[in-house]
């Protein structure tokens, strides 16, 4: 895969002078990393033992199915990134939600359908690849605009990691370029 694409700076880099940001600058918290504390405690998935990625409970509250929402506790959650594991979110205290407790599929899990590259704008990996193949553009913002016109950003409550989709999106662009250039 093309490293230059994968290493594209985050679309949410506030210091960036270019116009490639998908984020609405008025949305102050879309891409701030809030987890500044270091956690020494156990952060591995209770089922598969993989290391989890930290996610705030606000993100979990927005993505969990209505009937499960009262089970969300006010604690930091971890997202199990193992593609084979059924666990979505878990806490250090043993609470957990499975992937089918969520309103949206987790893009990195096996069988995710649809597989979103951008949750805020509901853009699938397939759409990104198709757009890259058809237009040749490798710029994230251009791809988004080509698919959706106006783009908005609500990463904190829409993306399962509570973070910007840049990495997954650029991976999809990379896949599109590979197809185009093959
Ligand atoms: Zn797991």
What mean pLDDT comes out for the span 114-129? 97
Q: Are residues 131 and 99 in the same domain?
A: no
- What pLDDT, in 10s, does the model give residues 16-30? 334 334 554 444 444
The residues with which 54 forms a beta bridge, in sequence order, are 78
CA of 72 to the centre of ligand 1 (A): 18
CA of 118 to the centre of ligand 1 (A): 23
- Give the pLDDT score at 136: 94
Q: Are residues 119 and 98 in the same domain?
A: no
Tell which wins on pLDDT, 42 or 94: 94
| Residue 107 pLDDT greater than 90, yes or no | yes
Residue 32 lies in a domain: no
Its domain, for residue 49, covers 42-104
Residue 179 lies in a domain: yes
Q: What is the pTM of this model?
A: 0.77
User: CA–CA distance from 134 to each of 116, 117, 119, 146 (Å)?
Assistant: 19, 17, 22, 11
| Residue 98 pLDDT greater than 80, yes or no | yes
CA of 141 to the centre of ligand 1 (A): 33
| Residue 156 pLDDT greater than 70, yes or no | yes
Residue 7 lies in a domain: yes
| Dihedral (Cα; 15, 17, 18, 23), 10-degree rounding | 40
Main-chain phi, psi angles of 53, to 5 degrees: -100, 135
CA of 52 to the centre of ligand 1 (A): 8
User: CA–CA distance from 56 to each of 42, 44, 90, 172 (Å)?
Assistant: 16, 16, 11, 26
Q: Are residues 131 and 152 in the same domain?
A: yes
Residue 67 lies in a domain: yes
What mean pLDDT comes out for the span 94-121? 96
- Answer with the one of 104, 128, 143 that is the final residue of a domain: 104
| Residue 101 pLDDT greater than 80, yes or no | yes
Which residues neighbour ligand 1 (ion) by CB within 5 Å?
45, 47-48, 80, 82, 85, 87
- Give the pLDDT score at 152: 87
Q: Kindly report whether the peptide bond that precedes residue 114 is cis, defined as omega within 30 degrees of 0.
A: yes
Q: Are residues 9 and 59 in the same domain?
A: no
> What's the CATH code of the domain at 95?
2.20.25.270
Residue 79 lies in a domain: yes
Number of domains in the chain: 2
Residue 33 lies in a domain: no
């Amino acid at each position: 895969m093309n490293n230059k694409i994968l290493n594209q700076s985050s679309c949410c880099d506030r210091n960036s002078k270019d116009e490639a940001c998908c984020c609405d600058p008025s949305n102050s918290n879309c891409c701030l990393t809030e987890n500044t504390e270091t956690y020494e405690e156990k952060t591995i998935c209770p089922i598969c033992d993989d290391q989890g990625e930290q996610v705030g409970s606000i993100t979990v509250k927005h993505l969990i199915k209505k009937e499960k929402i009262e089970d969300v506790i006010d604690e930091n959650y971890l997202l199990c990134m193992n593609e084979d594991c059924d666990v979505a979110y878990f806490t250090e205290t043993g609470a957990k939600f499975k992937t089918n407790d969520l309103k949206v599929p987790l893009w990195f899990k096996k069988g995710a359908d649809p597989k979103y590259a951008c949750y805020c704008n509901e853009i699938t990996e397939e759409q990104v690849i198709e757009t890259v193949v058809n237009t040749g553009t490798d710029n994230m913002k251009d791809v988004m605009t080509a698919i959706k016109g106006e783009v908005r950003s609500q990463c904190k409550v829409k993306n399962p990691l509570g973070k910007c989709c840049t990495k997954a999106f650029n991976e999809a662009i990379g896949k599109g370029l590979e197809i185009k250039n093959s």
